[in-house]
Amino acid sequence: MSVSELKERHAVATETVNNLRDRLRQRRIQLLDTDVAKYSLAQGRSPVKFGATDLVCCRTLLGHTGKVYSLDWTPERNRIVSASQDGRLIVWNALTSQKTHAIKLPCAWVMTCAFSPNGQTVACGGLDSVCSIFSLSSTADKDGTVPVSRILSGHRGYVSCCQYVPNEDTHLITSSGDQTCVLWDVTTGLKTSVFGGEFQSGHTADVLSVSISGSNPNWFVSGSCDTTACLWDTRAASRAVRTFHGHQGDVNTVKFFPDGYRFGTGSDDGTCRLYDLRTGHQLQVYQAHGDGGGKLPVTSIAFSASGRLLFAGYANNSTCYVWDTLLGEVVLDLGELQDSHKNRISCLGMSADGSALCTGSWDSNLKIWAFGGHRRVT
Amino acid sequence: MASTSGSVGAEVTGETCSSLAKSSLPPPRPKSPPEYPDLYGKRREAARVQMLEREIGYLEGEIKFIEGVQPASRCCKEVSDFVVANSDPLIPAQRKSRRHCRFWKWLCSCVPCLSLASFCCCCQSECSCHLRKPKCCNCTGCNCAGSKCCDGSCCSNICCCPKPSCPSCSCFRGCCCWCPDLSCCIPTCFRSCSRPSCLNKKSSCCSCNCKIRWSSCFKCPKVRLCCCFCNCKNLCSNPYCLAF
């Protein structure tokens, strides 16, 4: 077949793809008979109301000397690892605020960090395009340098996010500026699967975030600069199971809803959205009003244990809205509370038991928030 | 003879014959290279077409799938039912079950010198989480000289590194781990040096001098313009513009 015939086929195929996508979009619109907020209002759900001291900053973790970019909790034992522009990972005891480890990184430009399920290793990645694994039982020298246990190399762009597969210390998933996600075998340092890429169906721009389902670790979602989120099945890497449209800007962050069948996203278009995995429906849009018409980029999100609250950090000084996910309303702004951050909140993480939220900020601190109100217990 | 005047002048220089020869010959025209088939471009185009045709198959499958999909209202009901059925430690509401509180109370009572009060208190009536510091006052574990660490708040982060110089600074190890004197805890000059390739060379790192140029040296994350102030070979030297 000649090049000109190929180009003609290309044009015809492109038009067919566009028509099909349009048909799919129209059909989805027809199936969106309501959203979560309208449904909950119709059900007569009561709004969540916070008193002035219901959610308080219990701890401020001091120690980083640069912007905090990422944090992760252990599944148990209440420890946190954080990554900062100062080129260090710090491991904190969240209850006592003490640092247990401060790891100086070979590459200072770190963007993400994660705890292994057993809490014995931490992973990080960034502009060096590799994911480095450190064992917390290794001894640091006086500079704080801990030898790297394993380097996962193979990405052709920066590593934007990494997460261990739940209950598997030997596998983790990374997302990258090279438009792919990769499932790694940490033991061998090799790629198990590559999701997306130049000639596979997947993202068409930098991938910025991943989240793995806690109830089905074969599933994970990714968010990308191509304005979409994708659902992947690690057992079938050749193409995304489903692509979720709707956002009009980079999807900076994705997180699974606690039930494992929905997930939330946060985007440069200023909105957070809730999607249903199995149907592909966009169930709710959370858009703040004011502040530039609700166009402040969302940097990070986290769900509370029941999913009733969605915490969302925005790209301005310290704003962190707490959304009532059922009624679609902002019920609190952590940035307005006493002892709040002094700069942008760049990362959020909920503890495994849902009793505490950790926020990391460009003011170089981390803060832990917990319920500080009175409860009448029946 | 129109050309005579030109040739008369040229006779004097003795270049008449060569200039006559030059004017009668066509200008040199280098040969264009033969047209080789653009195999790489053809294969690439074929791959793109293949991808599009695969995408068509995938979209047709999605359209068939969506015909049998439940409407959004059913999903909304599932979300609502899940939220209502699950307790949430962060929500100010009456709680019927105290199982979660019982665990924290047990933990508080069983773990000496490690007060979880700030997390536990939420389970008791009429208490506040307001920042009661833990009772951990066993300062023998503090890796600091003097009593500064153990002034009743030994589990805080007040700097306990000896000042002004701290060659044996135990920052980032042991109990007290934060020094206001940054040079104490960071012997390398990575803060002043913006050239990442210098990081491993302590002495030369502090003398490296990045020249700023408006050129992108690699694919920088998101905010590409300001991120690529570098003439470094591999890495972007200005992560401050990371837009998240």
ipTM: 0.91
Strand order in the sheet with A251-256: A251-256, A262-267, A271-276, A282-287
CB A159 within 8 A of CB A125: yes
CB-nearest to B48 from A10, A96, A371 is: A10
Tell me the three state secondary structure of residue A75.
coil
Q: Do the Cβ atoms of A95 and B116 come within 8 Å?
A: yes
Q: How far is CA B76 from CA A41, A188, A301, A325, B184, in A?
A: 11, 43, 20, 11, 55
Q: What are the tokens at B66?
A: 């969506």
Instruction: List, run by run, the mean pLDDT of 10-residue segments along chain A (378 residues).
Output: 84 92 91 95 92 88 94 90 94 92 89 95 94 89 80 93 95 94 96 85 90 94 95 91 94 96 96 96 90 76 96 91 96 91 94 94 95 57
Q: Which residue of chain B comes nearest to A225, CA vs CA? A: B222
Of A128, A76, A80, which Cα lies nearest the Cα of A106? A128
Neighbours of B56 (CB within 10 A): 16
Query: How is chain A split into domains, by residue range?
Result: 46-371
pTM value is 0.71
CB A209 within 8 A of CB A251: yes
Q: Which residue of chain A comes nearest to B75, CA vs CA? A: A276
Residue A375 at interface with chain B, using a CB cutoff of 8 Å? yes
Those of residues 222-261 in A touching chain B at CB distance below 8 A are 225, 239, 242, 250, 252, 257-259, 261
Residues of chain A contacting B120 with CB distance shorter than 8 Å: none
Residue A59 at interface with chain B, using a CB cutoff of 8 Å? yes
Of A135, A205, A308, which Cα lies nearest the Cα of B222? A205
Q: Which amino acid is at A156?
A: R
How confident is the model at residue A254, as a pLDDT? 98
How confident is the model at residue B152, as a pLDDT? 37
CB A312 within 8 A of CB A272: yes
Those of residues 130-189 in A touching chain B at CB distance below 8 A are 140, 143-144, 157-158, 160, 177
How confident is the model at residue B36, as a pLDDT? 61
Residue A242 makes CB contacts below 8 A (sequence gap 6+) with A230, A231, A277, A280, B62
Q: Do the Cβ atoms of B91 and A309 come within 8 Å?
A: yes
Residues of chain B contacting A177 with CB distance shorter than 8 Å: 219, 221
Those of residues 257-286 in A touching chain B at CB distance below 8 A are 257-259, 261-262, 274, 276, 279-281, 283
Q: Do the Cβ atoms of B172 and A102 come within 8 Å?
A: yes
Q: What are the tokens at B181?
A: 């004197």
How confident is the model at residue B119, as a pLDDT? 43
The 10s digit of each residue's pLDDT in A17-71 is 999 999 998 999 999 999 999 999 999 999 998 887 889 999 999 999 999 999 9
CATH number of A46-371: 2.130.10.10
Q: Which residues pair with A266 in a beta bridge?
A: A253, A272
Tell me the three state secondary structure of residue B227.
helix
Residues of chain B contacting A17 with CB distance shorter than 8 Å: 52, 55-56, 59
Q: Which residue of chain A comes nearest to B64, CA vs CA? A: A24
Q: Which residues pair with B236 in a beta bridge?
A: none
Q: Do the Cβ atoms of A355 and B199 come within 8 Å?
A: no
Per residue of chain B (244 residues), give pLDDT as tens: 334 444 444 444 444 444 444 557 877 777 776 656 566 678 888 888 888 888 899 889 999 999 989 999 999 999 999 999 999 999 876 544 444 444 444 444 444 333 343 343 333 333 333 333 333 333 444 444 443 333 333 333 333 333 333 333 333 332 222 334 333 333 332 333 333 333 343 333 223 333 333 333 344 455 333 333 333 333 444 443 443 3
CB A137 within 8 A of CB A95: no
Of A35, A50, A32, which Cα lies nearest the Cα of A311? A50
| Bond prior to B27 in cis (omega within 30° of 0) | no
